[in-house]
Structure 1
């Protein structure tokens, strides 16, 4: 089956939501007894109650970042209906953009190192010759320096507004919690991620299609996206009913993340781990086939990958008394740091294309790949 010509009715609603917009109906939540991760829920609606409330939230974040590297954010002021609207826009862009236009706007990340435009299915090269069944449309928040498909153009003003609100009204508060947790000036991380400055952060609409043939599914052990750590500071995944995102615990066991309606699942990335000398853990995660009662459905959602501004060098924040007391040290050898832009582009170019990624990984395996002189782990 060729990318861009999908039977969109497979397990999903495909009704029009007005103005040519398709409505994505997600699968019902699973009733199967599977192992779930016990992630911290941070209800940020108490933010405006003042410093005491904020410090309580920061304490929750500290616990989450020193254990799972994940937490669930709620109470952030963007309604579930607004999130659903964005998912519908993404579903429309992925389903209604003609294949020819998708190819014209294909990102070619292995050459550019930037997530922009479409990633078609079968771009990631997995083990045993199997390729992925994931389709994406990626864009940077200003939406002004890349070509856009015709399917998104009627919605650009509201998409841009959504991007700005997510960054300024939600992400900035999250970064202020990180600063409070580390006893740093409250805008430390905000200043590393200034909205108006250039960086390689990107938003993403993404659909996972449950369309591996049985032989290929066996070859990859039911894994749709292999175990990894995100390379930026934090990643924001707007929660979806399909149980598919999995977290790897300290014992190497993979556990599903629960759906929190209207919530955001947030994980720590490699650059946050660098800033904290490893005290905050870059979360190990993957995407796997869901429980049996959710099979043969599509997983569709909206994501934000936050990368520091281009010239930021995410090394140990030595001024943090928390990090001083923890006795951590810079994770860079001989003071050889790397700027966010250089590392991000080198990392993106390798995703799903490196020889390490193509290898078969036994359960519990940790494989290391050197990218731009930096060791990057992958997990089986």
Structure 2
């Protein structure tokens, strides 16, 4: 795998840290900016909405840009948004900065996916995708806890400054490692790439990615109250449990990187069935610490192994539209990341308890399996992939 792909993952790590770190900073932001906790929580929703809307929009806007220029523009915008957020005295500016950062993040991911699969060998889209998504999983393992620690010690603004600082080596890496290809004025257009995105197979794969990612974040969002209230694990163990889930997610993208290009069918079918069964088993055994601890790691692994493979298969299916394909893949992931917690919250609000998001996660994965079976999508490999069931 070209070294530039790993450097792109460094930028994804910094951006992933920013996306998830607010969960530990909301109380401090609310106190400092004199707003309610729900209002501070809207900053997370604003970022998610910006990611969903921004991924295809930014992909279209950057189609005719040289990829290095597009990557640098998105990274610099993301950095400046965090500087603005770190120095603002008002909530409104911080809210706008989160939306701008999300748009830049979405655009970067779309172009980075297209760049990574362009730099990788033709039959290694799965590996390239897993390397990029590995940056997000490392953010869950290391970046988010570090941001929470900074917020505790030096205040929430220090976490924003840290993300901005972490982007500087990524910017240098992009300048030095991503080829400076000139803009292709006769290259793909938005209309041309949009035609390539009409493939029914691609649309089904994007739906499956949204369902599986929705299941992942449905439970991950409420993992702390689930483990403290239903399982009885002390609050002091929550950073370790979140890190354990993050380690599982890193293992999952590593597995996907090794198998997604050569055995996607077996990984998706076997992993999908195991994932649905795992969420159900977690719901039934959540009252016992030992199985809960094991399943936190196992479900993190399965979730990201299956999810990463679905995204890489979507990129294979969108081979004639790499930039918009990456944009819509990013949007699909964030649709799931937005809808999953909402559905889990509805279940909890209905009085079904903190185990209920686990059942919702199981139902979402079962829905994905039903859709895949009905469409016949998982049962055949895309052209150009040496898939062996």
Superposed pair shares fold, TM > 0.5: no
Indicate the TM-score class for this superposition, using the shorter chain for normalisation. under 0.3
| Larger helix fraction of residues | 2
Q: How does the TM-score come out when normalised to structure 1? A: 0.25
| Larger strand fraction of residues | 1
Q: How does the TM-score come out when normalised to structure 2? A: 0.24
Between 1 and 2, higher relative CO (CA 8 Å, sep ≥ 6) is seen in 2
